[in-house]
Chain A
Amino acid sequence: MESLTLNHFLTLSAVLFSLGVFGVMTRRNAVVVLMGIELMLNSANINLIAFSRYNGNMDGQMLAIFVIVLAAAEAAVALAIILNLYSNYNTVNLDEVDQLKE
């Protein structure tokens, strides 16, 4: 059985990223779009940590920690915006939200 290489992890993260892009592009519901963005951030993190592991260098892991923090902040702000959209439009369908001002 062959052993694990860096390419295994990079391929996994490429597939995960493409699924996230697909979710962001094709879903109407804003919450599911947010889930797609989280998938993409996760795949970027897999890349960072895999390179960090195979280079024997810790910097990638530190960057991944910052990415996780930013993902948490982004999720909080995005959900606040989505709740506001819902109270103004009574929907979270992104193609029905087409006005900047009431």
Chain B
Amino acid sequence: MEVAIFWLLAVIIIASAAATVFSKNIIYSAFSLLFSFLGVAGIYAMLSADFLAVTQIMVYVGGILTLILFGVMLTNRITMMSLKTDVFNFIPGLTIAAVMLAGLLYVIWVTGTWASDSPAAWDTTVETIGTLTITRFLLPFEVVAILLLIAVVGASFIARKDKQKIQS
């Protein structure tokens, strides 16, 4: 049962990621990215990371994907039907991706020596994550909070319209 669910999720993730990368239409790319993110959230849930599965759905699907769709709409003249983007460097890109995949699979299946028997699953991870956040990972947590603030302020500063351009 578990194996069947894993393969189902894997097929969903890989197929929609391939659609994202290969599709000529950028809107199709954005929407197949949605299914890829949802499948990854399912994989997190299978790995007994329930908090992260919910975070994945909220941040990626609710935040980043919406942001990307805004980017698509604001940077394409929809009336001119210029939504198609072409693929270039097809052969070198495919070669490098295939070589990288072969190298990763070689390391994973041939030279990997990590234990692969799974310990007992956690009941829920929320309590442990909360405790770790305010004890062992307190400093990274604060740093990342400040970084997020800086990124948001910086992004809105970069993206705003130039005052002179508006007046002219």
Residue positions of A touching B, CB distance < 8 A: 1-12, 14-23, 25-32, 34-36, 38-39, 42, 45-46, 49-56, 58, 61-62, 64-66, 68-77, 79-84, 86-87, 92-93, 95
Contact = CB atoms under 8 A, between A and B. Distances in A.
B52 to A, nearest CB: 6
Interface string B65-107: 0011011101110000000011111101110111011001100
Interface of B: 2-4, 6, 10, 13-14, 17-18, 20-21, 26, 29-30, 33, 36-37, 40, 43-44, 46-49, 51-52, 55-56, 59-60, 63-64, 67-68, 70-72, 74-76, 85-90, 92-94, 96-98, 100-101, 104-105, 108-109, 112, 114-121, 125, 128-129, 132-133, 137, 140, 144, 147-148, 151-152, 154-156, 158-159, 161
A51 to B, nearest CB: 8
A12 to B, nearest CB: 5
Contacts of A61: 49, 51-52, 125, 129
A77 B158 CA distance: 8
Give the secondary structure class of B's interface.
helix
Nearest to B149: A73
B157 to A, nearest CB: 8
Contacts, number: 236
B165 to A, nearest CB: 8
Contact of B71 (A9, A27, A46, A83): A83
A33 to B, nearest CB: 10
Contact of B97 (A18, A32, A75): A18
